[in-house]
Structure 1
Amino acid sequence: MVSEPNNWGRFGTDDQRGTLNLLTPATVLDALACARTGQVLNLAMPIRGATSSRAPTTVPHLRGRPLPQHFMSVDGGDYAAGARAIGAGLRMADDALIVTHHGTTTHMDALCHMWEGDQLYNGHPASRVRSYGAARCGIEQVGGIVARGVFFDVPRHLGMAHLPVDFRIGAALLEEIGPGLRQGDVAVIRTGWPLTWPDTYWSGQPGLAPDAGRWLAGRDVAAVACDNAAIGGLNADQLADESLEDDLHLILLHRHGVHLIEMLWLEELAQAAPADFVLVVAPLKIEGGTGSPVSPLAIL
C-alpha cells in the first residue's frame, strides 16, 4: 500500500477505473451544458506518412520511439489485400496503420502503464502485467469519457508563446489561472511546447511540478491532459528529474487513479480561449493495453 494520500480502495477493492468513476450520469449531463457554440475542435496530433517518407518526422515525438505509420496501398503491390477490383473500372485502396502511443502521438495512459514495487493502482498485482497484456487496469477499462474540460493556458496567462524548456508549472500558478475546477473535470493544460518543433523540441520539455499533480488529485479531477509528452517536465535526456516520490506518473496514475492524456495539439483551442468546454475521449478497446492513441474532441 502506498503511504501518501491516495485513492486506493475508495471506489472498491476491485476498482480498475480510478477517478473516472466520478463521471456519473449527472456529472456528464452537467458537463454537456458547457457546449455553447457547437464548434468542434480535434485536439490530436496527426498520424502522418509511411516508413519510406520523411512525413512521420515532421510531427512532434520523443526521440528513439517507434513512430506511428500510415500506409495506403493503391495498386495491390504492398499488401495482398491492397487495391482490388470491385467492379468494372472501379478500384479500392486499403489503409494499414502501425500505431504506437507512448511518446509518439496523442494518447491516453492506462492505470497499468506505471507502478511502484509489486502493485498497480489500487493494490492490483503488477505480476499480472505480461508481454501479452495487463490482466488488471488495462486501457479497455476506460470506456468512453464525456467530461467538462477546464483549460489552463499557462503561456498565455504569462504573456508567452510557449513556456521555457525548464519551466515547471506549480500548484499556485494553476490555482491562479484556474477557472473553478469541479469534481470529475478534466484539467487540460497548455505549455505551447509543440510550437518549438523541431528546433528545440528535444532539448527537454516544460511540464507540471509535483505539487501541481497533488493539487489536481486533491480536487478530484477525472483525468489530466497536456500538450507535452509526459505531463511532468523532461530534461534533455527525455527523462524526469524528480525522485520516485515526486514522479507525476506515480502521483497521478499509481496513487490516485487519475488517467493521463498526453501530446495534445491545443493551439486552436488556445485561439478560441474557452474557460471550459465539453471534452470527449474514447481510447481504442485494446484488452490489456497500457494505453491507446486517442483523438480528443473539444465541443465549445
Structure 2
Amino acid sequence: MSQPPAIHTAADGITTGRRWQRRPDGANWGDFGPDDQVGRMNLLTPERRLGGVREVRDGIAFTLSLPLDLPGMLSEMRKPPKLFVESVQGIPAFNCAMTMFGGTGHDVMCDDGVILYTQYSTQWDSLAHWGQRFDADDDGIAETVYYNGYRAGEHLIGPEAGGPRAAALGIENLATAGVQGRAVLVSLRQAFGPGRTWVGHDMLMQAIAAQRVEVRPGDFLVLHTGLDEAVLAMNGQPDLHVLEQTGAVLDGGDLRLLDWIDRSGIVAICSDNMAIEGVDLATPPAPDRSMLPLHELCLFKLGIHLGELWQLHELADWLLARERSAFLLTAPPLRLPGAVGSPVTPIATV
C-alpha cells in the first residue's frame, strides 16, 4: 500500500513520513512527495523552461566545462581520467585494421574505455553526495540519512554490502529531470576582485544589484569567481596554496545568506570554484554543526543541486560586456545509475 506524503507539523516536527518521523529544521522533506529524489528541480516547469528559452537573443553557445583532465591532482579521492584500450584476440582495438578480425577492405577502427572519477572536474553533485547523522526516527538515536530521509545501508549502499551504489538519489534521477532552464550569472570576480573573499548575504545582494541580476524562482544561480582561469593557467599542475587564495567563496556560516537561498526558489547553484562555499580548516565546527553548512542546506535539507568547477570566464566576460546576466542553461549529467556525482558539459545559450 502506498504511503501518504510526509506532513510537517511546525510545533513539534513530527510527520507521517515513510522513512522519517522528524525532518531537520528548515528542510523541505516530503514537500515534493514522500519518494522525491530531485528536490528543487521539481520547480523546473514547462513555463520556467520557456523563460530560459526567451533569454536567447543571439544564438551563441558557450561550453561551460573544463577539459575533464583538469584541474590536476588535488586529492587522493579524485584522480584524473585514464583512457585505456581492450585487446580482442590479442589485438589492441586501436588503429586496428578490420582485416585482423576477418573483414575485408581498408577500414580501420579505434575503440577505448575510461576510468573516470565522477567529481574530479566539471561536475554535478547528486543529492546522495552529502548526508548527515540525524535523529530522523525521533527516538534519540541519530541515523545516517540523506535528502528526504533516504538511509545509509538501505538506499546508499557501501562497498561492504556490494556497493558503492546509490539505490536512491543517484545522479540518474537528475539526468531524467530535464536539466534545462533560465540561469543567471553573478560575477563575484567583477564585484570583489580575483582574490579570496568570503561573500555573505549583504555582499551577494550588493553584487546582484550592481549587475542588475533578476533572480527568479526556478532559476539556476551561476557564480563566476575567476578560479577557472587559474586552473586553466596551471595546465594540470595545480598549486593548491595559490588556488586557496583565488576567487570568492560563499560564506555558509551567514544565516541570512542561507535563508535567502531558501526563499529565492533557485533550483541549483553552480560555480567555477571547488566547493561553492568557503572551508575554514583552521577553525573546526562545533560537534552539532556542519563543516559545509551550504552543502548541508542545499543537498541535505532542500534538494538544491550543486555544480562545481565549471568554466565560466568566457560567458561572464560576454554577458558583462553587454550588461546582461540571464541565459538558457542546458546541463544534464550522465545517466549513470547508482553514481553520486557526474561529469557534465553544460551549454549556455545566449
* TM-score relative to the length of structure 1: 0.85
> What residue is the counterpart of 1:6 in the other structure?
27
Partner of 2:44: 23
CA shift for structure 1 position 45: 0.8
Corresponding residue number in structure 2 for 1:175: 205
What residue in structure 2 maps to residue 272 of structure 1?
318
Q: What are the within-5 Å matches in structure 2 for residues 165-244 of structure 1?
A: 167-178=197-208, 179-197=213-231, 198-199=238-239, 200-203=241-244, 206-210=248-252, 211=254, 212-235=257-280, 243-244=289-290
Q: What is the CA RMSD across the aligned residues, in angstroms? A: 2.7
1:12-59 deviations in whole A, cap 9, x for unaligned? 1111110000001111111110111111001001024xxxxxxx6xx3
**Number of corresponding residues:** 285
Q: Percent identity between the aligned chains?
A: 29
Computing the radius of gyration from Cα coordinates, the structure with the larger value is: 2
Name the residue aligned to 2:140. none
Distance 1:44 1:246, change over 3 A: closer
- The answer to whether 1:149 aligns with 2:183 is yes
Q: Which deviates more from structure 2 when the two are superposed, residues 28-37 or residues 76-85? A: 76-85
Task: Give 5+ residue unaligned stretches, structure 1.
Answer: 49-55
Where does structure 2 lack aligned partners over 5 or more consecutive residues?
1-21, 99-103, 134-143, 232-237
1:99 CA drift (Å) = 1.2
Deviates more, 1:80-89 or 1:137-146: 80-89
* 2:113 counterpart of 1:96: yes
Structure 1 residues 136 and 74 mapped into 2: Cα distance closer, same or farther (>3 Å)?
Answer: closer
Give 2:124's aligned amino acid: M
2 CA distance for matches of 1:246 and 1:99? 25
Provide the C-alpha distance between the structure 1 equivalents of 2:293 and 2:83, rounded to a whole number of angstroms.
37
Hey, what does 1:51 align to over in structure 2? none
Asked if 1:247 is matched to 2:273, the reply is: no
Measure how far apart 1:222 and its partner are: 0.8
Give the TM-score of the pair, scaled to structure 2. 0.74
What is the CA distance between 1:68 and its match in structure 2? 2.9
Pairwise CA distance, 1:148: 0.8
What residue is the counterpart of 1:52 in the other structure? none
1:93 maps to amino acid = C
2:105 aligned with 1:105 = no
Q: CA offset at residue 137 of structure 1?
A: 1.0
**Do the aligned partners of residues 73 and 201 (structure 1) sit closer, same or farther apart at CA in structure 2, a change above 3 Å counting?**
farther
